[in-house]
Chain A
Amino acid sequence: MKMKTESKPEKRPKMVKQSPSERRSNFEEVALGYNRYEAVAEANRCLNCKKPPCIEGCPVGVDIPRFIRQIAEEDFDSAVLTLKSTNSLPAICGRVCPQETQCEAVCVLGKGGKGDPIAIGGLERFVADYEMEEGVTIPDLRASTGRRVAVVGAGPAGLTAAAELAKMGHAVTVFESLHAAGGVLVYGIPEFRLPKSIVAAEVDFIRRLGVDMLMNSVIGKIGTVDELLREYDAVFLGTGAGLPSFLGIDGENLNGVYSANEFLTRVNLMKAYLFPEFDTPVKKGRRTIVVGGGNVAMDSARCALRLGAGEVTIVYRRGEDELPARAEEVLNAKEEGIIFRLLTNPIRILGDENNWVTCMECVNMELCEPDESGRCRPVPVPETEHIIPADVVVIAIGTSPNPLVSMTTPDLETAGYGTIVADETGATSKPGVFAGGDIVTGSATVISAMGAGKVAAKAIDEYVKGAVRL
């Protein structure tokens, strides 16, 4: 590719993807990343703005123009350092962050609809992948402070808090209930969007910062928060929002009906797509219905397709514009042939005499006029009930916090739906206990969870330094 120096191109290079016909039957990564030439060319489009709005758009404040300039100068090692000084999981963020609503949404180049904003996510991924290929260097750690911090949950919030605290010289132990670290990154987001080897490498980096990671450790069962406080100077809770919601309609306990969490956990964490080489089975439907319109629904639908379902339908009660999933993932799903039945709501699920799901009854919806809150409530259209056949149904309508920790910590203040109440530094109602990520906000994003982990790490650092030890 030839680089223009004078007038800058308005378009970003298209990232190479596996073709839809190919990728719909494998679990390999869909988007293949930029090569060095594409990355440098794209970096050269950056205006290096004086007052860069992109930094403000980034929930953790990555110095975006700086790392982009370093790419343009082909000084990739420095770009790694710039990125990693604010974001300890760049290979993950480069792949799954909704840049189109964050940094890229405010990029000057995208303003006025004339050109494309800089592909900040694509460049971030490029730098992180470069580092993995070159071999990761571990930063110098600060001398040990002798303070001990327990982190509960190894999702993006917990991992970020752990990494930051370790860099500050504290002794950190992570307690994770599953057998692998990563939270939603390993059990929820599929291999074809975020290869598990990438997550493992990022987790390994945090381990090499000296963080002790204890898997198979369910807090609330193996020990309570109060017990942790006897051994540690502070506790960070990053337990996520992992409790699946169901619709509460008839037929949800039929065989073949899954929560998205179960379906995705079987496929991703347990690798059911490699059954029987891997032991965990999952039902491979011929016709799969996924209920919901978020990232979780898109991931479930695309997994079902790759497992071999001939027909995968997304049923969502609002319209196209209301789909909460990332636009790119909706597009990917459509390209792969997933059917969207929008403005459609399930009424009940029907089964056969052996308790196996056979179909779902739905009704058409219409959006009413927006109410004072500005939101359009979908309402059923009378006499539009209809049947959609299915042998697998996946319910992807959301999750709420798992109550295991709050149930066993009576003096921890919680709010509606069971989220833990924390102030802007992550401090909870209980001294020495901090929280961040989905457990505080409800289901949100990887980067916001990381941001919360980072902010809390700072507050914990101050807290443990000031804490009088008996």
Chain B
Amino acid sequence: MPFTILKKQELVPTVHQMDIAAPRVAEKAMPGQFVILRIDECGERIPLTIADFDAADGTVTLIFQEIGKTTRQLASLGAGDSIADLAGPLGCASTIEKFGTVVCVGGGVGIAPIFPIARGLMKAGNKVISIIGARSADILFWEERMKEASSELHVTTDDGTKGHHGFVTDIVQNVIESGEQVDRVIAIGPPVMMRAVAGVTKPFGIKTVVSLNPIMVDGTGMCGACRVLVGGVTKFACVDGPEFDAHEVDFTLLMSRLTMYLPEEKEALDYKVAEEPAV
């Protein structure tokens, strides 16, 4: 049974929001979980985080960045189109309880998955200090939503076109050093960013959680493509995670495993471009 796209919007250049009708997934979804989708018979299975969900409407919201063949093809679809498969909710839900003060860090498309977590943590009675960052102001999205889901919101851009000129880690450091009693940090974004956040919080001994994005196939613990090393132990991110203790994660391994198919990804993209009708 195909899954219908109800709404599609380009939030900022190359980043899209898609609302998909998937009532059974929406009913069970929790912050921190993801889906695996496949566009058509020839498609690859790719994981995307559930950025929002509405059990009453039966929809899940996905935010994705166009980076390769599948995300480019997904971006070419619009409301009324459908995709062949969508499985979820997968992975363990984020731990949402009353911790006290929690710093939520979202970098790039990582802003999308951090949103439901921040919202959940607020609801659970935490003080939520959110920090969202992007390379530049024109690719920063969901600022308003994040403001609503946080007690305090900081914005950073690498080029200084908005908010703090610099990295999210600068603000994490500032918040901690300002004397704020930070009970927990959760960071989602590119692996380099997550590693940097882990580096900042480690000396302070603040429990830090990151959501890992290794290459996946089934998403149910059946293949082991998603192996990550946490505290020296091999874990399957799709079932044991995707969230793990940042201070225990082997980021170097994660990053090298993410490059495993670079030549093939380029080939797939070239093949797709060659197939596209010339304009």
B210 to chain A, nearest CB (A): 18
- Contact bitstring B203-226, A, C-beta under 8 A = 1, else 0: 000000000000001101111110
Contact with B87, one of A218, A255, A277 (Cβ below 8 angstroms):
A218
User: Does B150 touch A at the CB level, under 8 Å?
Assistant: no
Decide: B88 and A265 in contact? CB cutoff 8 A: no
A215 x B234 contact (CB < 8 A) = no
A249-279, CB < 8 A from B = 252-253, 255-256, 258-259, 261-262, 265-266, 270-271, 275-279
* Shortest CB distance B62–A (Å): 15
**B24 on the A face (CB < 8 A):** yes
Asked if B257 contacts A280 (CB within 8 A), the reply is no
Cβ–Cβ < 8 Å partners of B253 in chain A = 253, 355
When the two chains form the complex, which single residue of A255, A265, A283 contacts B222, counting CB atoms closer than 8 Å? A265
Point out the residues of chain A lying under 8 angstroms from B28, CB to CB.
221-223
B194 CB within 8 Å of chain A = no
How near does chain B come to A50, taking the closest CB pair, in angstroms?
47
A295 CB to nearest B CB, Å: 17
CB-defined contacts of B259 to chain A, threshold 8 Å: 255
Indicate whether B143 reaches chain A with its CB closer than 8 angstroms. Answer: no
Chain B residues with Cβ below 8 Å from A243 are: 221-222
Whole-angstrom CA separation of A39 from B189 in the bound complex: 62
Interface string of A390-432 (1 = CB under 8 A from B): 0000000000001110000000000000000000000000000
Chain B neighbourhood of A217, CB < 8 A: 24, 87
Within 8 A of A (CB), among B186-240: 217-218, 220-225, 227, 229, 234, 239
Q: Does A216 reach chain B (CB closer than 8 Å)?
A: yes
Task: Please state if B234 and A244 are interface contacts (CB–CB under 8 Å).
Answer: no
Closest B-chain residue to A395, C-beta based?
A: B224
**Assembly CA distance A223 to B89 (angstroms):** 10
Q: A177, A217, A221: which has the most chain B beta carbons within 10 Å?
A: A221
Complex contact B265–A281 (CB within 8 A): yes
Q: Answer whether residue B121 sits at the interface, using C-beta atoms and an 8 A cutoff.
A: no
Cβ of B271 < 8 Å from any Cβ of A?
A: yes
Say whether A178 faces chain B, with CB atoms less than 8 Å apart: yes
Contact A283 B220 (CB under 8 A): no
The A-contacting residues of B in range 138-197, CB under 8 angstroms, are none
Binary flags per residue of A136-171, CB closer than 8 Å to B gives 1, else 0: 000000000000000000000000000000000000
Kindly list chain A residues whose C-beta atoms are within 8 Å of the C-beta of B42: 271, 277-279
Nearest residue in B to A281 (C-beta to C-beta)?
B264
Q: Are A244 and B224 in contact (CB under 8 A)?
A: yes
Q: Tell me how many residues of B have a C-beta within 8 Å of chain A.
A: 41
A114 within 8 Å of B (CB atoms): no
Please determine whether B222 and A253 come into contact, CB atoms closer than 8 angstroms: no
Contacts of A258 in B (CB 8 A): 224-225
A242, B260: Cβ atoms under 8 Å?
A: no
Which of A243, A255, A279 has most chain B Cβ within 10 Å? A279
Contact call A218/B90, Cβ cutoff below 8 A:
yes
Query: Does B221 lie within 8 Å of A404, measured CB to CB?
Result: yes
Contact B85 A216 (CB under 8 A): yes
Q: Is the CB of B268 within 8 A of A275?
A: yes
- Distance in angstroms from B64 CB to nearest chain A CB is 15
Which residues does chain B contribute within 8 Å of A355, judged by CB atoms? 253, 256-257
Contact across chains for A218 and B220 when beta carbons are under 8 A apart: yes
Asked if A246 CB lies within 8 Å of chain B CBs, one says yes
Interface of A toward B, CB cutoff 8 Å? 177-179, 187, 214-218, 221-223, 242-244, 246, 252-253, 255-256, 258-259, 261-262, 265-266, 270-271, 275-281, 283, 354-355, 402-404
The 3 closest A-B pairs by CB, nearest first: A281-B264, A262-B223, A279-B44
| Given A218-B87, A275-B264, 17 other A-B residues pairs in contact with their CB atoms under 8 A | A177-B87, A187-B222, A216-B85, A222-B89, A223-B28, A242-B220, A246-B224, A246-B234, A252-B234, A253-B229, A253-B234, A255-B260, A270-B217, A276-B264, A279-B43, A279-B70, A281-B265
**10 A-B residue pairings within 8 Å (CB atoms):** A216-B86, A218-B90, A242-B220, A252-B234, A255-B256, A255-B259, A262-B223, A270-B44, A276-B271, A279-B70
Interface of B with A (CB < 8 Å)?
1, 24-25, 28, 38, 42-45, 69-70, 84-90, 217-218, 220-225, 227, 229, 234, 239, 253, 256-257, 259-261, 264-265, 267-268, 271
